[in-house]
Structure 1
Amino acid sequence: MDITLSRGHRPNSTIRSSNGCWTCRLRRKKCDENRPEKPEWMDGGVRQEEMGERLKREVKENAHLRREFRAVHISNDLPETTAPGSLDDLEPRPDPSIVRLQRGTDCTFLRKDGRNSVPFGRPCTVLITFYLENLFPFLFPFYSPSPLEGGRSWILEMMISSPVVKQATLCQSSYFFALSQENANHHAIWEMVLAQTQDAFGILRQSLQVINSSSIKEHLHGAVRIMASIMQIQRFVVTILCFDNCQTHLNAGLALFKQILESINAVESEGIVSCFNAVVNHLGPSTRIEYAQDIYIQSAEQAAFRFSSALLIFDDIIASTVLQDQPKLYDYYRCLLSDINGTGPLINLEAVVGCQNWVLLHICEISALDGWKKQCKGAGNLDVIELVRRATAIKGPLEAHLIRLESEPLASAQGGSSLLDSFNINNHQQSKLPVSQSRLATRVWAHAALLYLTIVVSGWQPASVEVRYHVGRVIDLLTHEISPAALLRTMVWSFCVAGRLAEPEQEAHFRRMVLTLQPPTVFGTIRKALEIMENVWKDRDTSNSASRDLATCFKSQGDLVLLV
C-alpha cells in the first residue's frame, strides 16, 4: 500500500460530527465530544479570534515538551552503541553491584500534550511532595527564589514533564523518606537505592542517545533537563557517601554544559556572556501568568539551567582543590561569576549554595596557582619569588573583601509590609536565612580560602599565628553565629580545611559540631570530613607532616572526595 496515500485517506472523512466541543472546532481538531458546551468567548468575532491565537500559541510554546517525552520513550528502540566521542560518552556508568529496579510501580505517567498529563500514582505523589517540602529545602537551604518569580515551582514542572528529572529526584526522596521511618530496614533501603539509581542511569542513557542522534540545539530543553538530572544524581551519591562515580558525573555535567553553551553561538567569537544569554533566551519564552496583570516569569528550563549551572560550577571549583589543578572550565568563570556590566553576575552562587561569588573565584585562582606550583616542582623549575608574587595578588583582594564584609552590619528580614511578608511571618528559613546567614557562611568560606592559600605558599604550618587566627574565626562563626547548626553541611569543605589545621586543644570543638548533628545518615559528608581530619590529627607528629598539602589529605581517601 502506498504510505502517502494511506496517510491522506481517512474512512468517513467526509462525515463531520456537529457534536464536538467548541475549542476543538475552533482549532479544527478531532474531538472526543466530551465537552460540547459553547463557551462565552465563542462569539464569532474578536474574542473568538483572540482565543484561537492564544490556543495556537500555547500549543507551539509547549511543543518541545511533547518532543522530548516522545524522544525518551522512542529511544528504547535505539541501538546500545553510538559513535565514539558522542554525547552518549557522557553517561555516568553505575557500579557493577547495582541491581535492577523492580517494575510495576505506579509512579509512571504519560504525557498527553504540552499541558495535560495523567496524574502520578499516590506513592509517587507522596514522595514528590516529601522532596519539595522537606528534602530540597534541607539540601539547598539558601535557595529561596521569590514566589513572585515562580519560587521552586520549576522543580515540580520538571518532574511532571521529564522522566529523567523525575527518576533522579525520586531516588533521593524514596531513600530519605524510608530512612525517616524509625523501624526502617537499612539493608533493604540500600538495595532500593542502588536499584533506583540504576533506573535513573538507564533513562539518562536513553535521553543522551536521542540527543546524539541529532544536533543538541534541536533538543536544548532536553539537554538542560539531563544536566539537571546529572547534578541531582551527583548530589545524591555524595550525600550517601558513594564517591566512586563523582569524577564521571562531574565530567559529564561539565561536558554537557559546555556543549549547551556552544550550541547557540561559538563561544570564541561571541563571548561566554553572549552565549549564556542566548541559551537562556532560547529556553524561553517566559511563562505568562494570566489574571495577574500579565506578569511573566522565567520558564522551568530557564530556572533549571541557572540552578544546575551554579551547582556544576561550585562542584568544579571544589573538585579542583582536591585534584590540585585549575577548574575544568576555569576560563569561563570570570565572565559568569563577575558583575561585568553592573547588572549583577549571570550566575549567583550565593543564592544557591550560600557563598558569594568573589570567594569562590578566589578559590579558583588558588587552585590554579596550586596546579602551577605542582607543575613547576615536577619540572624542577619552581620560582619561589614568582609563587609569592602570584599569591600576593590573590591574597590582597581576598582579605579586602573579607574585611569589608565583616564591617557590614548583618541585615535582618523585614516583615509585615506586604501580603507576602504575612505569608512568611512564621517561616524563618524562607524569610530570614538567605539575608543574614549567607553573609556569615561567606565569611567562613573566606577564612578557609585564606588557609588554603597559606598551605599552597608556605606548606603545612598549623602553628603559625595567621593559621591559628583563621581556624579560630571558623570555629567562632560555626559555633556561635551560624544558625541553625545543620547549615554546617553547606560549608563542609571550609569546615574540613580549617579542621585539618586545628591545634590539639581545638579538636574537641570540631568533634562536638559533628556529633550534635543527628541522625548520622543525613549528615554523612560532615562525618566524612571529620574522618579525614582525624587521620590528619593522628599523623600530626610524623616526619612527612611538613610536606602535606590539601590535595594529599583528600587523595588519601582514594576516590575523588567531593565535600559539597
Structure 2
Amino acid sequence: RSLHGCWTCRVRRKKCDELHPLCSNCTGLNLSCDGYGPRPAWLDGGVLEKSQAVRIKRIVKQTIKRRSRNLSGPVPFPEISTLPTALPTSSVSSEEDSTSESVVCSTTSGIDIPMSWDPSYNACRSFCRNEAALLMHYLDQAFYSRDRFVAFGSDRLYTQFPFHNSSANGTGRGWLLTLLTGDETIYFATLAFSQYHRDSKFSRKRPSLFENLRPSERVDYYIFALKELQLRLGEAHTWIGSEGMLRSIKALACILQFVFLEVFSSNSSSDWSVHLRAATALLPPLVQTRDHFAIELLLGAFLWLDILAHVSTRAKLSSQFNHEVLLERGNIQLERLFGCKNWAMLLIFKVSQLDNWKRECEENRKLNVAELVRQGVKIEAALNQGLAGILSQNTSQMRTSSNFTPEDQCSAITEVFALAALTYLHVVVSGAHPDQPEINDSVARAMDALGALRDRKLLARVVWPACVTGCMVSEDKQNTFRDLVAVECFAQGVLGTLPQAHEIVEHCWKEREAGAGNCEWFSAVKSIGLHLPL
C-alpha cells in the first residue's frame, strides 16, 4: 500500500489509486474521499475515528448490496464538501443558471460549500433515465418555477417554494443540484417527493402516498432514505466542526423533504411531527450561521412548518432557537419562499404564545384577564398597523390589474394571514364565538380578501388562514365561504391540505350546530384526527 494514498483508503487499509482530486476507489463505493491534504479532524485515534470506520464499513456494505440487487442508485456521487466547482450548462437549462459562474459560498463558521460541479467529473454517469427525469422534474416544477413572474394560472403555486428566486443570489440552481446529488439520503428523499408531485400533477385524482407504485419506485426511494437518515442521526452526537455542520445541513434537507412529502400528500399520520422533532437537534449550529442562502432557505422552511404545525394542531414548538429573533433579524425572509411577510408570521407566533399562556393559566386557575386583554391589545395594534401598510399599497387595484407582480402577490397573501391572525387573537381573548362583533368583523374582512385573490389556485398558499376564517364564519355566511373554496378543494391534481382544511371547517360547523358552543379549528382537528400543518 502507498504511504501517499487518501486518508479514507488509509483508514480502510486499502490500496489507493491516488487520483486527484478524488480517489476513484472511494467515489466508486459512494464514500467521501478525504483527500491527500492535512489529517482530517475525525482521525483522532479515538471515538471519532472508530465512528467513522463503522460508517465507512456500513456505506461500503450498502453499496455492494445495492449493486448485487442491480439497483441503479446515484453511484458514485461524492460528498457535497468534495465536489469540484463548475456547472454543466446542459444539466439545468435555465437562462438564469447558464450565466452564473462557479461559486463557493463561505459561511461565518468557515465552511465552504461548493455551489456547482465539474462537467468532466465522471460522477454524473450513474443517473438512470427515470431518476434523471425525476430530478429534473423536481428542479423545474416541484422546488419552484423557473420563471418567477409566471402567471398565477400555472402550477407554480403547487411547488415547495413558489416565491423563491434563485437569480436574486446570483448562484442559480447549481448549489441545489450539488446538494441533491452529493448525498444519497437527500437524493432518494427528493426522488420520492418528486415522484409524488409528478404523479399528482398528471393524475385525475390525487394518489395516496404509496398508491399504485412498483416496489422499485417511490416506496424504495422513501424507505432507503429514511433508513439511512436514521443511521446517520444516531451518529449526530459525534458531528463536530465544519464537517459536522455539513452533515447537519444534509440531514436537515432530507428531513424537510420528508415533511413536505407528508404535507403535500395530506398524510395525517404522526410521521411529519417525528421528522420535525428529529430536525430540532440539528438546528443550534445552523442558527448561528448567517449570510448563507442555502442555510437560510432550510431554516426558513423549518420555521414556516414549525409555526404552522403549532397553530394548526398545537404540536410542540422547537425549543432549540428563538422564533422571534430569527423572524426579526432579517436574513430569513419568508415572503421569498412562501409569500407571507415575516411580520405577519411573527404576530401569528405571538398570538399562539398568548394562547399557550392563557391555557396554562386556566389549568392552574391563575388567569389574569386584565393581562390577557393588555397583551391582546398590543398584538392587535401591531396587526392593524401591518394591515394599514398593505392597504396603503392599494392592493385592491393591483388584484384587478394585468400587471400582478410577485410583490403584489406577497401583499395579498400576507393580508389573508394577518386577518386570520386577528381572528385567532379574538378567539384567544374572547372565545370561539362567531357572533362576537370583533370576530364577525375580522372574518368578514378575511373573506373579502380571500374572494379578491386573483386566482383560485392561490388558496393552496393560504390554507391555515382559510381554515381559521371558515371555522369562525357565522351560520348566515357558510354558503358564501363554501363557494369561495369548494372549486379549488376538489380540483384535479390539487396538492396540499386545502381539502382537509375544508373538512375541518365543515366539522366545526356541524359541532356548533349540535350545540358545541366553543368549537374552533383545534378542537375540530382533534375530533376528526386530521393532524397536519395546514
Normalising by structure 1, what TM-score? Answer: 0.68
Query: Which residue identity is paired with 1:108?
Result: P
Report how many aligned residue pairs link the two structures: 436
Residue in structure 2 matched with residue 88 of structure 1 by the alignment: none
* Structure 2: runs of 5 or more not aligned: 6-17, 25-34, 42-48, 85-120, 145-157
SS in 2 for 1:118: helix
Matched, 1:332 2:356: no
d(CA) in 2 for partners of 1:183, 1:541? 34
Q: Deviations over 1:456-478 (max 9, x none)?
A: 01001212232222222222222
Residue in structure 1 matched with residue 407 of structure 2 by the alignment: 435
Matched, 1:364 2:349: yes
Matched, 1:173 2:173: no
Residue in structure 1 matched with residue 172 of structure 2 by the alignment: 151
Instruction: Decide which of 506, 525, 529 is 1:534's aligned counterpart.
Output: 506
Deviates more, 1:132-141 or 1:496-505: 132-141
The answer to whether the 8 Å contact 1:520/1:527 transfers is: no
Residue in structure 1 matched with residue 213 of structure 2 by the alignment: 189
Q: Deviations over 1:162-194 (max 9, x none)?
A: 212211110011123234445899531397544
d(CA) in 2 for partners of 1:136, 1:156? 11
Matched, 1:248 2:274: yes
How far is 1:118 from its partner? 2.9
Residue correspondence of structure 1 range 214-225 to structure 2 within 5 A: 214-215=239-240, 217-225=242-250
Matched, 1:200 2:166: no
Query: Which residue identity is paired with 1:162?
Result: D
Q: Rg: which structure is higher?
A: 1
Matched, 1:257 2:283: yes
Residue in structure 2 matched with residue 408 of structure 1 by the alignment: 393
Matched, 1:380 2:365: yes
SS in 2 for 1:556: helix
d(CA) in 1 for partners of 2:529, 2:375? 31
Q: Deviations over 1:134-178 (max 9, x none)?
A: 222232212223256223433222112121221111001112323
d(CA) in 2 for partners of 1:131, 1:29? 28
Residues 175 and 189 (structure 1 numbering): CA distance in 2 closer, same or farther, change over 3 Å? farther
Q: Deviations over 1:423-475 (max 9, x none)?
A: xxxxx9xx964211001100000000000000001001212232222222222
- Percent identity of paired positions between Structure 1 and Structure 2: 26
Instruction: Decide which of 287, 292, 304 is 1:314's aligned counterpart.
Output: 304
Query: Which residue identity is paired with 2:367?
Result: L
Please give the root-mean-square deviation of Cα atoms over the aligned residues, in Å: 3.9
Residues 463 and 513 (structure 1 numbering): CA distance in 2 closer, same or farther, change over 3 Å? same
d(CA) in 2 for partners of 1:185, 1:29? 44
Residue correspondence of structure 1 range 525-564 to structure 2 within 5 A: 525-546=497-518, 548-558=519-529, 560-563=531-534
Residue in structure 2 matched with residue 268 of structure 1 by the alignment: none
Query: Which residue identity is paired with 1:403?
Result: A
The answer to whether the 8 Å contact 1:240/1:521 transfers is: no
SS in 2 for 1:276: coil
Matched, 1:118 2:124: yes
Query: Which residue identity is paired with 2:289?
Result: F
Instruction: Decide which of 418, 421, 427 is 1:449's aligned counterpart.
Output: 421
Residues 231 and 544 (structure 1 numbering): CA distance in 2 closer, same or farther, change over 3 Å? same
d(CA) in 2 for partners of 1:309, 1:188? 34
Q: Deviations over 1:108-127 (max 9, x none)?
A: 22036623223322211111
d(CA) in 1 for partners of 2:317, 2:295? 20
Instruction: Decide which of 333, 342, 355 is 1:348's aligned counterpart.
Output: 333
d(CA) in 2 for partners of 1:364, 1:136? 26
Instruction: Decide which of 226, 231, 256 is 1:231's aligned counterpart.
Output: 256
Residue in structure 2 matched with residue 461 of structure 1 by the alignment: 433
Residues 8 and 176 (structure 1 numbering): CA distance in 2 closer, same or farther, change over 3 Å? closer
The answer to whether the 8 Å contact 2:268/2:529 transfers is: no
How far is 1:210 from its partner? 4.5
Residues 519 and 59 (structure 1 numbering): CA distance in 2 closer, same or farther, change over 3 Å? farther
Query: Which residue identity is paired with 1:516?
Result: V
Query: Which residue identity is paired with 1:253?
Result: A
How far is 1:225 from its partner? 1.3
The answer to whether the 8 Å contact 1:143/1:434 transfers is: no
How far is 1:242 from its partner? 1.2
Residues 145 and 76 (structure 1 numbering): CA distance in 2 closer, same or farther, change over 3 Å? closer
Query: Which residue identity is paired with 1:328?
Result: S
d(CA) in 2 for partners of 1:553, 1:30? 57
Residue in structure 1 matched with residue 469 of structure 2 by the alignment: 498
* Structure 1: runs of 5 or more not aligned: 1-5, 11-23, 32-57, 80-99, 262-271, 281-301, 340-344, 414-427
Residues 184 and 553 (structure 1 numbering): CA distance in 2 closer, same or farther, change over 3 Å? closer
Residue in structure 1 matched with residue 384 of structure 2 by the alignment: 399
Query: Which residue identity is paired with 2:482?
Result: R
Residue correspondence of structure 1 range 72-151 to structure 2 within 5 A: 74-76=57-59, 104-111=70-77, 114-115=83-84, 116=121, 117-119=123-125, 120-137=127-144, 138-139=158-159, 140-146=161-167, 149-151=170-172
Deviates more, 1:240-249 or 1:348-357: 240-249
Normalising by structure 2, what TM-score? Answer: 0.72
Residues 559 and 212 (structure 1 numbering): CA distance in 2 closer, same or farther, change over 3 Å? farther
d(CA) in 2 for partners of 1:59, 1:152? 30
Q: Deviations over 1:284-315 (max 9, x none)?
A: xxxxxxxxxxxxxxxxxx43311110011112
